[in-house]
Amino acid sequence: MTRTILCLARHGETNWNIERRFQGQFDIALNARGRAQAEALARELKDAHFDRVYSSDLRRAMNTAAPIAEARGLSVLATQRLREKDDGAWQGHTHAEVQVKYAGDYPHYLARTPNFAAPEGETLEEFSRRVRTVLTDIARESAGLTVLVVAHAGVLDIAWRLATGRALSEKREHPVLNATPNWVAFEDGRWSLVNWAQPEGRPEIAAPWDGLTLPRREAARALIVNQKNEALLMQYAGGLSPHFLALGRQHFWATPGGALREDESFEAAVKRELREETGLILDGDPGPVVATREFPMELGDDWQQAVERYFLIRTEEFAPSPESLTPEEKVHTLGWRWWSAEAIEASDELIFPEALAALLRKATS
């Protein structure tokens, strides 16, 4: 019978992996370590023959697959069917946050209850059927070939279960490592395990911040939303990492805000930054905190541990009139625009924070 070989690889690391944040089907980019992992995977597989390269259409997977496909003159065949499990309302939250907010449901996640789904999400059974169907379709369409599939931890978990016959609720023996090859075979309608990567003996892929004691940079951000549920974003230049500059990016869009001054609270900082960057003056409390972030951030040539809080500011639509900007800030503040969630998703501009469209929808629902 015809035997098809699939090499399965999870995408490289993201900042949301570091934060232990549910990514699900949100389109989160690789971080610096993740990009290095993608390059290392391409080197590891440099002598492997692939007839086709498939990938989840989310950019953390696409950018992991791209170097391998390009080296062989192949196109990446992207599909939504290889996306991570849809974790619904949990996406964007850390495990710690979900454990508190959904205390009655989180144990079902830990126990891998097959028919459990996060609110608005997929059950493990539904996800398993989706992955089984797409991997089987790929294997049959590529009969007799060797294929690379780059996807997500959940997708590889289901593939491992297909190849080993393990039940959805059983504990997996080994972790799903970032950007690491795992091999399975499909023959005569059946899956089998060829080799599953184990962490022992594998080289660690360094990140630029490894071994450093990163200075803590606390910052307050304002998610300013008008009556049409559009967010005010400012266009900035300067402060971009060498990675983005190398890609030809010269500016970016972001929510207003900035670093706390010495002995300043997050609440005081967001009110000050609003006044300086937009001219908006707030009395009283600035509003609820709708998101928190903590991750290594590159500022110029330096790395810092970013600690950010995002405050929801409801207001009428207005034209920003920045006050008290320094000459340098005036040079780097290029403009502003009100953005809908749909416009954010459709744009190919550089927009921060990641998954802003989803945050905007959640904050205004």
Task: Report pLDDT digits (tens) over 17-70.
Answer: 999 999 999 999 999 999 999 999 999 999 999 999 999 999 999 999 999 999
Residue ranges of the annotated binding site for substrate are 10-17, 60
Residue 328 has what pLDDT?
73
Whether residue 329 has pLDDT greater than 80: no
Residue 39 confidence (pLDDT)? 97
Annotated binding site: 10-17, 60
Q: Is the pLDDT of residue 300 over 80?
A: no
**174 or 122, which is more confident:** 122
Mean pLDDT calculated for residue range 151-170: 97
For position 308, what pLDDT does the model report? 98
Domain ranges for the chain: 3-195, 217-364
Q: What is the pLDDT of residue 174?
A: 84
pLDDT of residue 1: 66
Residues in the chain, overall count = 365
Spatial separation of the C-alpha atoms in residues 1 and 68, rounded to whole Å: 29
Share of the chain above pLDDT 70, in %: 100
Grade residue 323 by pLDDT with cuts at 50, 70 and 90. confident
pLDDT band, very low/low/confident/very high, at 331 (cuts 50, 70, 90): confident
Give the residues across from 302 on adjacent strands: 299
Q: Is CATH 3.40.50.1240 the classification given to domain 3-195?
A: yes
Label residues 62-92 b or e (16+ Cβ within 10 Å = b).
bbbbbbbbeeeeeebbbeebbbbbbbebbbb
Question: Dihedral, CA atoms, 306, 67, 174, 157, nearest 10 degrees?
Answer: 90
The reported pLDDT for the residue numbered 327 is: 75
CA 13 to chain CA mean position, Å: 9
- Per the annotation, the verdict on 11 as an active-site residue is yes
- CA distances to 62, 183, 197, 236 from 147, in Å: 15, 10, 17, 42
Q: pLDDT at position 337, please? A: 97
How confident is the prediction for the chain on average, in pLDDT? 95
Please report the pLDDT score of residue 80 as a whole number.
98
Exactly one of 39, 84, 174, 345 is catalytic; which is it? 84
Backbone angle region of 233, left / alpha / beta, with phi > 0 → left and psi within -120 to 50 → alpha: beta
Peptide bond into 353 cis (omega under 30): yes
Confirm if 317 and 226 have CB atoms less than 8 A apart: yes
Whether pLDDT at 140 is above 80: yes
End-to-end CA distance of the chain: 54
* CATH code linked to domain 217-364: 3.90.79.10
pLDDT at position 136 is 98
| 264 is known as an active-site residue | no
User: Tokens representing 355?
Assistant: 């998954």
Q: Is residue 333's pLDDT more than 90? A: no
> For residue 299, what pLDDT is reported?
83
pLDDT of residue 330: 74
**26 membership: H or E segment, kind and range:** none
Least Cα distance to 292 among 96, 119, 59, 109 occurs for 96
Do 322 and 333 touch, CB atoms closer than 8 A? yes
